[in-house]
Amino acid sequence: MLGESHALLVDFPEYTDTILALTTKNSEFADSARRYHELDTEIRKLELRNSPTSDDFMHQAKHERSVLKDKLYLQFTKA
* Domain spans of the chain, in order of start: 8-78
Percent of the chain at pLDDT > 90 equals 76
What letter represents residue 53's amino acid? T
Using alpha carbons, select from 30, 38, 37 the residue that is nearest to residue 7.
37
Span 1-24, average pLDDT: 92
pTM for the whole thing? 0.88
Measured torsion, CA atoms of residues 17, 11, 59, 71, in degrees rounded to the nearest 10 = 40
Greater model confidence, 36 or 53: 36
